[in-house]
Structure formats: C-alpha cells, structure tokens
Amino acid sequence: MDSTQYAELFLTESREHVSAMNHALLALEGAGGGAGVGSSEPVTEIFRAVHTVKGMSATMGYTAIAELSHELESLLDRVRRGSLDVSPRLMDLLFRSADMLEAAIEDAVAGRGAPAGAAALIEALRAFDRNTGGFAAIPAPAPASLWSVEIPDGEGIGVHIRLNRDTPLRGVRAYLVIEAAKRAGTVTAVAPPLEALQAEQFGDDFAIRIATDDPEAALAVIRGAGDVAEAVLADAAPGVFDLAALDQMATDALPARQDGARLQQHVRIELRRLDMLMNLIGELTITRGRLAQLAAGSSDVALQETVTQTSRLIGDLQDEIMQSRMVPVGQVFDRFPRLVRDVSHAVGKQVGFTIQGKDIELDRSMLDEIGDPVMHLLRNAVDHGIELPEQRVRAGKPAQGRLTLSAARDRSAVVIRVEDDGRGIDRERVLRKARERGFLEAGRTDVTEEELVKLILRPGFSTADEVTEISGRGVGLDVVTARVRALGGSVDVRSTPGAGTAITMRLPLTLAIQRALLARVGDEVYALPLTHISETVELLPGALQVVKGRDVLVLREDVLPVLRLRELVGLPATTRHESEQVVVIETAERRAALVVDDLMTQQEIVVKQYDAVRGGSSLFGGATILGTGAPALILDVSTLL
C-alpha cells in the first residue's frame, strides 16, 4: 500500500488524538493521582488515544511512533491495572511522552525520522520502576550463559535479540527483524546463519552485528519490528536515567511552540453538513438557470453582466463543494482482498487478486452505494467464473486464476470493471437453467448473446445446482444491475467461453448534479445525461436505411439501430420534421441513434428522486427542474440498449 497519499490525513487525525491525550492528562493531574485512579476515565481516554495512534502509525510504517506508542501503552496499562500509582514523577514522564509523540508524528510525516530524544524516552518508559515510582537502572545485557548464541564476528556493534515466547512462524519473524535492521545500518553478520533462522533451527534468541552511526536508533528499529521481547547491545552497561536530564533531552528535541495555532491541512466535517451543502448548491443551480433565462430576455446590459458574473461564481462554488465530497475508491476497494481470499478458500480455488485505479475519485454518496455491487461481482467471479485448480491445469491454464478490479475515468463518468480469466459464461448451462425456471421457451436455441446476458441478469436466476453460503439463491447480478441503474449508470457484460468474463459498471461521478443535454419532442423536454452521449448529428434526408425491417442509421462505418424518443414516451407519430436531430447514445460498447424533434442546450441539472408510477415505464431514472421552473424527466439510457 502506498501510504504517502494518506500522510496528511494521518497527521490530522493523530494531532486530534494527541490533543485529546493532553486534555486527559490535565484531568488526571487535576484529580490528584494516587492509588485507585487507574480505572478513572482520564486514564482510559489516554490509553485509547495512544492505542489508536499506535495502530495508525504501524499501518503507515512509522516505526518510531509505533514503538514509542507501544511503550507508553504498556506503562498506561500498568496504571489501569492498579500496579502503578499516579505520581508527580509519572505525570511529568507522561507529559514529556505526549510532547515527544507529537514531535515524532510531525517528523515522520515530514520524512525527518525520529526526534533525537525519542530513543532515550523509550528507554525511560521501559525503566520506570513500578515500586519506587522512579527510574530504575536500565538492565545490562543478560549474562552470556542466558543467551543461546554468541555474538558473531564482524564489523559494527553486536546486538542480542530475543523473540516473544510462542511467536508464530519464528523463522519468518527473525528474517523480518533482520530486514528491519538493514534499514538502520549494514548487517555484517548473523548467528546462527540466516538459513538456520529461516528453518527455525534456533531457540528464542539470535544475534547480529550491525554497522551504524546511531546504535540507539538501530535498537529502536529492531524493537519495533514486531514480536521482539528484548534487543540489547552486547557491550551495553547499566545506566540510570535522571529525570532532569531526560526533561532537557526531550525539550531540546521538541519543535518550538508557536503562539498561534498550528496550521491544519484537514478538518473533519459531518457528512450531514456536506449533504446539506450539496442540496443548497443544487437549489442555487436551479435558481441560476431561472435567473439566466430571465436576464436573456432583458435589454439591461448591467443586469446581464451581473447575472453572468453570478453564474460564474455559483459554478466555482459548485465545483469546490463537489471536490470536497470526492474520495478515492480505494477507501472501498481496500476491503475486498480479504473478501476474495475468504471466498476462494471456501470454494477451494486459487485466485490472484489485483486492484487498479484506487486513486480514482467518486462522490462520497456514490462511493457508499457501489460497495455491494462490487462485492456481488467479485463473489460471482470467484464462485462461478474461475475454475478449480485441477480444471484450469487440464485446460492449459495456470492453477491460480486471475481476478482484476479496476477503476478509471472516462469523460464525466467512472468505469469500474471486474474481470476474470475463468471459464466464461456457459451458454448451454444458462439455457438449460432458464428453461427449467420458465424464463425461456422449451426447444428455443436461437438466443442471441444480448438475450443470453439478459437471462443472467434476471431476478432469481442462478446456475448453481445447490444453495450454499456463497451462491445459489438467485441474488447477485440482478442486484448489481438494479443498483447501478438506480444510480444513473449502466452494466455491460462481455464473456468469452474458456477465456473469462468482464463486467463493466459505468457510473456518473456524483448523484446530485449532472451535465445533461436537453432534447424536445412535441411540447415536452427531456434530459439526456452526457455520460451516455458520444455525439449529435442532424438527420439528413436519406440518412436512414432499412435492414431486416428495422430503421438503421449509417454513421461513417457504424450501422446504428434507430430509436425514436417520440415513440418511446408514447407521443403520436408525426410526419418527419425538418429539424429532426440524432443523439448517438452509448453504454459500454453498445450504441444507438436516438431521434428527437429538436436539441435545446447543454446544462447542469440537479437530479431529484423520481418515484415512478407502479407498472409505469422504466425509461426514466430521475427528474429535474428547468430554468423555467417546469419539471423534466431524465432518460435512463441504459434501459434502451
């Protein structure tokens, strides 16, 4: 995972937790400390804040922060359990730890590494004596007789490392510890040899030599590698921490405090407020259209200039609000590798899963809606698409199947695709199941690829022979289609027998405001989303031809089926109008020529919820308000192709 794109977000959230920690420390100090305070709310709040920072920093790969948080968490746990009283000396240490944690966070995000006093403070946290409430001597390395290996010969300093008891995959963990050490210096020798470590031919400890200019920093890196119970220098001597010296060391390492507040790059805003802003800008967009229409009929030049400037400012405001709602699809996609892993294990298949385009952004409301459709497609691909390993080998394929989830921008839309290299759609199996369920007439075999896909997308259809936890209930692709169309998008299925299947969802960037082309038939105006429009052409005499009894339009090298909007909406047919226009509509790779009486203008429309009449046409996917104040229905292009 590339964590750099989340660094600013980590910084903002970590600052909030450190702030909460400081407030809780003040409350704890104000409570007077002493025995019995361990279970108090301030201690719990401090522990929770430190624990959260520890988890976030470990995820981001900020080892120094994670190690400092871990030692601070261990000390606080002793306070929570009542084995350590809250004393003035402990409070001083906790306040210094909060300051050092803040400095470590700032330095890590800035790429500066750990603050100079961080290693000493970590040792102080480890050495704080539970009995005396002071700093005990830092223990010297254990006698050589207590280590199972001797320090190997080589350049640099010797380090004894002991893993936690019951560490799983000890050989792998030892290897990871050594790899971590290489980030802090040059590892010149390992005992026992690396091959023995990887084969788990060692006890709980091993030793290395490392050439480094900063031994304390190297120890900090090694201790933060995970499952390390102890890591000490072979020639270290016992030492005692002096609190005053520690205070000065920590103070020197901290950045200078500013009188003003630190500049924040991010703020938290409730989604409810963002939704309210979007609703308000939507209403303002409708009013802008009405105002522009009124100004167009006026001869007042000053009024027209003012309206033009206002329209531009409203447009800029709309862009900023929409950008504030945009989030990377990776926030949803990152949860799917675990899903694919669990499903593939459940059905006994080997699947290599790849995610592409995680940085593509979608409106927050749209992102919340796509999780379930993508989940259904991935489960379907693993269960129905990709074959068992032995079947793939017999077919000349690798035993491990390939599954790809990708996102990409395409004009004013986002294209999300789930693609596998499995068996493809089994035509005969689909037709047999369709006949069994009464979806297809018995004996009919002349089913086109388009009709085959429509069968698969029907509610209640499944090719599974039995119901399992994963499939067989007939809930899957029809759910995907219904959800995507409700979002103003379209679904396209492409499959090659024996080679795999690709299912593509084409979605608008946002649910609230879309760019649309207004078209007229008769006295009625309809909105056509630009997401599904490739071009417009004038319908010239003789441009239409008849193929197999159906009108088609020959456009350059393409032959497009002709649809008449007048007929689709139930208006009476008329003789051909001089200004008839053609809108070339498309979803995925399907295209058609939609004939309208006239084209009016392009404009941004505010999508309103549309409750269709029961049993009515599924032709429309929403409604909007025009500048005249009149409503207009939004055509759902995906229902036409």
Q: What percent of the chain has pLDDT over 70?
A: 82
The model's pLDDT over 62-102, given as tens digits with 9 standing for 90+, comes to 888 888 898 898 888 888 888 888 888 888 888 888 888 98
What are 572-585's pLDDT values in tens digits?
877 655 668 899 98
Q: How confident is the model at residue 188 (pLDDT cuts 50, 70, 90)?
A: very high
SS3 call for 464 = coil
Nearest alpha carbon to residue 525 among 584, 579, 597, 594: 597
Question: Hey, what amino acid is at 511?
Answer: L
When mean pLDDT is compared across 5-9, 203-207, 266-270, 402-406, the lowest value belongs to: 266-270
Residue 38 in this model has a pLDDT that exceeds 80: no
Which residues touch 343 (CB under 8 Å, ≥6 apart)? 378, 379, 382, 383, 470
- Checking if the pLDDT of 46 tops 70, the result is yes
Average pLDDT of span 210-224: 85
Q: Is the dihedral of CA 465, 466, 470, 474 positive or negative?
A: positive
Looking at residue 468, what is its pLDDT? 46
Q: Point out the least confidently predicted range of 85-94, 109-118, 287-296.
A: 109-118
- Comparison of pLDDT for 489 and 598, the residue scoring more: 598
Do the beta carbons of residue 227 and residue 183 sit within 8 Å?
no
Long-range Cβ contacts of 317-321 (<8 Å, 24+ apart): 317/281, 317/284, 318/281, 318/284, 318/285, 318/513, 318/604, 321/274, 321/277, 321/278, 321/281
pLDDT band, very low/low/confident/very high, at 402 (cuts 50, 70, 90): very high
CB 607 within 8 A of CB 634: yes
When pLDDT is averaged across residues 505-527 and rounded to a whole number, the result is 84
pLDDT band for position 461 (cuts 50, 70, 90): low
- Return the pLDDT at 118: 78
* Cα–Cα distance, 362 to 193 (Å, whole number): 51
Q: Which two tokens stand for residue 105?
A: 């966070």
Task: State how far the Cα of 350 lies from the Cα of 577, in Å rounded to an integer.
Answer: 60
Residue 334: which pLDDT band, with cuts at 50, 70 and 90? confident
Cross-strand bridge partners of residue 362? 327
* Predicted confidence (pLDDT) per residue in 126-144, tens digit: 777 543 444 443 344 444 4
**Residue 452: in which H helix or E strand, if any?**
helix 449-456
Contact criterion met (CB below 8 Å) for 547 and 603: no
More confident residue, 425 or 412: 425
Token pair in block for residue 515: 């760019």
Pairing outcome for strands 401-410 and 413-420: antiparallel
CB within 8 Å of 116: residues ≥ 6 apart: 249, 252, 253
Nearby residues of 321 by Cβ (< 8 Å), 6 or more positions away = 274, 277, 278, 281
pLDDT score of 356 more than 50: yes
Q: What is the pLDDT of residue 496?
A: 87
Give me the mean pLDDT over the 143-170 stretch.
76
Judged against a pLDDT cut of 90, whether residue 403 lies above it is answered with yes
Residue with tokens 């050594």, as numbered in its chain: 178
In this prediction, residues 238-250 reach a mean pLDDT of: 46
Average pLDDT over residues 509-514: 74
- The mean of the pLDDT values for the chain is 79
Residue in the block written with tokens 């270290």:
236
For residue 533, list its beta bridge partners: 585
147 pLDDT above the threshold of 70: no
Q: Are 581 and 536 in contact (CB under 8 A)?
A: yes
pLDDT tens sequence across 429-440: 877 777 777 777
What is the per-residue DSSP string for 537-597? EE--TT-EEEETTEEEEEETTEEEEEEEHHHHTTPPP-SPPTT-EEEEEEETTEEEEEEES
User: How does pLDDT run across 622-636, given as a tens digit for each residue?
Assistant: 788 887 778 888 888
pLDDT of 520 above 60: yes
